[in-house]
């Protein structure tokens, strides 16, 4: 049994008895029932994940996966591929948006090179799990082999476990870096939701109308050329995906195997979550949607996952920025459930 198979075998559905106990406690707290809206639902979901009516979330970790894409040659991004490596260096140096927002959230940033086209110099805090120097151009053929797809997912699992062994964390989040990666993400989304490329493809880094049309054409050609099997997430990843998207799927699976909440960032991270869902449907129980991306098609992807986003701020940066913003809300939801007094405890008359 390989690492992917063993991880999937350790994933079970969230604990409904803990959810019921948490809901009963939530309804007895000193407030009108339902008055904290979706915060209450979030707390109950996390209780089910953790298997306790009063979950407590400590420090978190944001896993930023990086890789390049051959489809960048089709003019689907405003930025050149070398920006991927430059931004990875920025992440390691602590100067990117994800670093700032993670510090605000009290979470550490874990950066992994899964398939950056450049050879990254050894740096403190950078995991090197490079499978290849970028994927193939999906408009001409598959992004990677099936074996490479499995290895990319396992890279995400390995980094998660290595980081957990260093210092335990209690909530995970996903992030990405890869110039042109909204194109393979759109192809994955189209393959796994059944929607058309035109329904999914957005402006990415800020493409004009002509650029969006090029991108739609690239996704349509990738799907027609590779014919990914919508019932096989590994096949979809191999044919039209990306190394960092596979590693994000691995993060989702590793978190689910540890019964840990994982906050899914935006468009690219949600593509990885869709791959994870295809491989292990129960993994969905541990996923929390951070936000509704401004990228076209993201809401349809969240609907496929059955998740309601916490935030709607018009974000489209990626990196894990939306997830970092949502993490403290998850912590706050658990604190309400655990620390707020019940009517009986506070001696307050009920309705």
pLDDT tens, residue by residue, 172-207 = 999 999 999 999 999 999 999 999 999 999 888 788
H or E element, residue 128: strand 126-128
Distance separating alpha carbons of residues 303 and 228, to the nearest angstrom: 21
Place of tokens 């396992």: 154
Distance CA 71, CA 52 (A): 45
Q: Are 111 and 125 in contact (CB under 8 A)?
A: yes
User: Does domain 60-334 sit in CATH 3.40.50.10210?
Assistant: yes
pLDDT at 337 over 80: yes
pLDDT, average across residues 143-171: 97
Read off the pLDDT of each residue in 203-227 and give the average, rounded to a whole number: 92
CA-wise closest residue to 293 among 282, 305, 301: 301
| % of the chain exceeding 90 in pLDDT | 91
319 in active site: yes
Q: Provide the angle, in degrees to the nearest 10, between the axes of the packed helices 233-240 and 267-279.
A: 140
**Percent over 70 (pLDDT), the chain:** 100
State how far the Cα of 301 lies from the Cα of 224, in Å rounded to an integer: 21
Rounded to whole angstroms, the Cα distance separating 330 from 335 reads 9
Backbone angles phi, psi at 5, to 5 degrees: -65, -45
The per-residue pLDDT of the chain, averaged, comes to 96
> Helix (H, G, I), strand (E, B), or coil: what is residue 66?
strand
Q: Is the pLDDT of residue 123 over 90?
A: no
- By CB atoms closer than 10 A (0-12, 13-18, 19+), residue 166 is exposed
Average pLDDT over residues 236-260: 98
Q: Model confidence over 90-103: pLDDT tens digits?
A: 999 999 999 999 99
Q: Rounded distance, CA 111 to CA 124, Å?
A: 10
- Least confident interval from 7-16, 72-81, 110-119: 72-81
pLDDT on residue 125: 80
Helices (H) and strands (E) in the chain, counts: 15, 6
Annotated catalytic residue within 213, 319, 345, 350: 319
Residues 264 and 286: beta-carbon distance below 8 Å: no
Q: Report the chain's terminal Cα–Cα distance, integer Å.
A: 56
**pTM listed for this prediction:** 0.97
Q: What is the average per-residue pLDDT within 321-341?
A: 97
| Residue 17 CB burial class (10 angstroms; 0-12, 13-18, ≥19) | exposed
pLDDT band at 45 (very low <50, low <70, confident <90, very high): very high
- For the residues 30-51, what does the mean pLDDT come to? 96
What's residue 349's pLDDT?
86
């Amino acid at each position: 049994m390989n690492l992917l198979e063993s991880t999937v075998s350790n994933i079970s559905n969230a604990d409904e008895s803990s959810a019921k106990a948490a809901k009963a406690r939530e309804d007895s707290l000193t407030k009108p029932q339902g008055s904290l809206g979706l915060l209450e639902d979030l707390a109950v979901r996390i209780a089910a994940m953790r298997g306790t009516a009063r979950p407590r979330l400590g420090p978190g970790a944001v896993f930023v996966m990086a890789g390049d894409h051959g489809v960048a040659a089709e003019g689907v991004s405003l930025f050149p591929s070398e920006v991927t490596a430059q931004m990875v260096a920025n992440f390691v140096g602590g100067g990117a948006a994800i670093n700032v927002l993670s510090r605000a959230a009290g979470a550490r940033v874990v950066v992994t090179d899964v398939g950056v086209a450049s050879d990254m110099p050894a740096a403190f805090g950078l995991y090197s799990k490079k499978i290849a120097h970028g994927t193939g151009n999906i408009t001409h053929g598959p992004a990677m082999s099936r074996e490479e797809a499995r290895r990319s997912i396992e890279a995400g699992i390995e980094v998660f476990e290595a980081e957990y062994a260093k210092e335990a964390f209690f909530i995970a989040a996903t992030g990405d870096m890869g110039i042109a990666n909204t194109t393979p993400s759109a192809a994955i989304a189209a393959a796994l939701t059944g929607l058309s490329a035109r329904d999914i493809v957005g402006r990415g880094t800020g493409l004009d109308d002509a650029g969006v049309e090029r991108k739609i054409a690239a996704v349509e050609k990738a799907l027609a050329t590779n014919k990914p099997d919508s019932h096989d997430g590994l096949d979809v990843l191999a044919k039209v995906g990306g190394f960092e998207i596979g590693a994000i799927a691995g993060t989702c699976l590793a978190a689910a195997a540890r019964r840990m909440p994982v906050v899914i960032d935006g468009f690219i991270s949600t593509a990885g979550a869709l791959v994870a869902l295809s491989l292990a449907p129960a993994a969905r129980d541990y996923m929390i949607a951070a936000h509704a991306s401004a990228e076209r098609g993201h809401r349809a992807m969240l609907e496929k996952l059955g998740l309601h986003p916490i935030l709607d701020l018009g974000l489209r940066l990626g990196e894990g920025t939306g997830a970092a913003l949502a993490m403290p809300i998850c912590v706050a939801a658990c604190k309400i459930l655990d620390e707020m007094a019940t009517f009986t405890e506070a001696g307050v008359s009920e309705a």
